[in-house]
Amino acid sequence: MAEPVLTIHGVTKHFGAVKALTDVNFTLERGDVHALCGENGAGKSTLMNIIAGVLQPTSGEIRVDGAPVRIASPAVAQSLGIGLVHQEIALCPDATVAENMFMAATNRRRSPFMNYRALERDAQAVMNRLAAIDVRRKVADLPISSQQLVEIAKALTLDCRVLILDEPTAALTETEAQQLFSIIRDLKANGISIIYISHRMAEIFSLCDRVTVFRDGRYVCTDRIADVTPDDVVRRMVGREITQLYPDKRDASAPAGKTILSVEGLSDATRFHDVDFELREGEILGIGGLIGSGRTEIAEGICGLRPRTAGSVSLHGVPQKIQSYSDAVKAGIVYLSEDRKGSGVFLEMSIAQNVSVLELKALTNGAGLLKRRAETALAEDFARKLAVRMSGVEAPVKSLSGGNQQKVAIAKQLAVKPKVILMDEPTRGIDVGAKTEIHRLLRELAQAGIGIIVISSEMPELLGLSDRVLVVREGRIAGELGADAMSEEAVIRLASGLGNEQAAHHAA
């Protein structure tokens, strides 16, 4: 048998005291499509960044075509024929599609002048294989799914032998994803080897030849796809039964609690339409759907962060006038953004100053001055209840780990004694331990009578945490899944518009 195109042997990567990868192995055979699976934080992206020259391993060996190599930079990776399509879009928004696609080639060019006509012609030829996108358009003017396609087209121009696709379908529609799959099969037929990172079992099982599983920064196993089932892969990813990972759910046979929040006919005329649902006491309501389906926009619409054109929001049966986010906070509805660093916490400011931000009025005396002792006490109180690991409440939030930053963000919401908390991706980018703590905390809050709505792209989280799941598709609620009907497949069917008999349930 021919030499594998890429071999990873015993690679370890430390970030300070944190071990992101411990002694991992990975072998990519020529012309294979090889799936890499693992939960967030399992070390997949770290390994891909090492292969692509973005990060350097602490120890271990990388071989390309059997020869040991040191991939010191992305440029070295490119010269070895390795192309990486990042999960996050990293394009120059003000440049055209063509300019973005040939950025690396332009960088290598000897000629002092650009040949735009050739550039555009070549770019269009590559792009036509993928989608009908005019390469002369500016990237910023394209929707996210098209930008994702530009990223993939960019990698295709590199003339690579190894292509790494990190969750390429996360932002794509079903049709676009199907087009991508046929291209992947073409590439494979041309002898290009592909590492395919995805959470979507259906894609992996229809597309890939082999699957490797990582867990907590360690290599678990590699199998031929034909020899395993999706359940096997999921079990190995999680390493334990899913039920143990998540706190016990609400007893499904118990009578439903009182309605806390009811949303009727909510619409903003562009991103979401006719959204109806109820949130009952004691339950955690999950909202699933593909990225870009309008999940976040619905949450923003409920909280007054996005103008709406129709519909009503009631708390305990009383209609609320919510025009701005301040109105929502006053009414007792708080929202935790998916973008923690971008719009959740104030990184340079202290933990105490973060926790108090929604509660400023209550912490202000008659003269307009802050009651600093009360502010400190508030923060210390929540830091203790949420077990925030810190040197003190005066420490800046940026000194905390991601999980503890998220706890501070949650403490900020709890400080106003909310009736309903909407959490968008509550554990994104958080390590497994802190994740479990946050899940347990959410369950405790639900048991204490606070309405919890969790939006999540992580299927295990959505299914493991929620008592009931609403699936959003193209801005509408495509269906509702109760405890008995909840499964990864059911969510995906609803999210991708394949329909589901359960959809009828939604009428309730």
Partner 1 sequence: MAIDTMTAPSPRTSSFKRVGTMREAGLIAIILALSIAMTFASPHFLTLGNFRAMLMSFSVDGIVVVGMTILLIVGGIDLAVGSVVCFAMVLSGSLFLAGLDPWSASLIGIFASAAIGGAMGFFVTVVGLNHFITSLAAMVIVRGLCLIITKGTPLSLFTLPASFKQVGQGTFYGVPYVILIFVAVVVLFDFLLRRATAFRKVFYTGSNEKAALYSGIKTNQVKFWVTVLCSTLAGVAGVIYMSRFGAATPTFGVGMELNIIAAAVIGGASLNGGSGTILGAILGIALLSLVTSSLILLNVSVYWQDMIKGCILLAAVSIDHFLHKRKAV
Q: What DSSP line would sit under 434-482, residue for residue?
A: HHHHHHHHHHHHHHTT-EEEEE-S-HHHHHHH-SEEEEEETTEEEEEE-
**Do residues 411 and 383 lie in contact, with contact meaning Cβ atoms separated by under 8 Å?**
yes
Output the smallest distance, CB 32 to partner 1, in A.
38
Which of 269, 360 has the CB closer to partner 1?
360
Smallest gap from Cβ 357 to partner 1, in A, equals: 5
Contact assessment for residue 11 and residue 178, using Cβ atoms and an 8 Å cutoff: no
Q: How many C-beta atoms surround the C-beta of residue 253 within 10 A?
A: 6
Closer residue to partner 1 (CB): 205 or 325: 325
Q: Closest by alpha carbon to 35, among 185, 177, 199, 152?
A: 199
Output the smallest distance, CB 59 to partner 1, in A.
Answer: 20
Find the shortest distance in angstroms from Cβ 332 to partner 1.
Answer: 12
CB neighbours of 71 closer than 8 A, spacing ≥ 6? Answer: 50, 51, 52, 53, 62, 77, 80, 82
Minimum separation from the CB atom of position 306 to partner 1 (A): 12
Question: Considering beta carbons, is residue 131 or 333 the nearer one to partner 1?
Answer: 333
* Distance (Å) of CA 435 to CA 133, 362, 407, 446, 464: 39, 31, 10, 17, 12
Kindly state the smallest distance separating residue 19's Cβ from partner 1, in Å: 15
Structural contact between residues 287 and 453, judged by C-beta atoms closer than 8 angstroms: yes
Q: Do the beta carbons of residue 46 and residue 100 sit within 8 Å?
A: no
Shortest Å distance, C-beta 360 to partner 1: 5
Task: Report whether 262 contacts 270 (CB < 8 A).
Answer: no
The closest alpha carbon to 385, from 362, 361, 408, belongs to: 408
Q: Which is nearer to partner 1, 67 or 360 (CB)?
A: 360
Three-state SS at 364: strand
Query: Closer CB to partner 1, residue 372 or residue 505?
Result: 372
Q: Kindly tell me which of 206 and 343 has the beta carbon lying closer to partner 1.
A: 343
Beta carbon nearer to partner 1, 31 or 429: 429
Q: How far is the CB of 400 from partner 1 (least distance, A)?
A: 13
Pick 16 or 317: Cβ nearer partner 1: 16
Q: Which is nearer to partner 1, 66 or 307 (CB)?
A: 307
Q: How far apart are alpha carbons 22 and 14 in whole angstroms?
A: 8
* 3-class DSSP state of 10: strand
As measured in angstroms, the least distance from the Cβ of 218 to partner 1 is: 24
Q: What residue ranges bind partner 1 (CB under 8 A)?
A: 16, 305, 324-326, 329, 335, 337, 339, 342-350, 353, 357-358, 360-361, 363-364, 368-370, 372-374, 376-378, 380-381, 385, 392-394, 396, 398, 412, 414, 417, 441, 444-445, 448, 450
Helix (H, G, I), strand (E, B) or coil at 142: coil
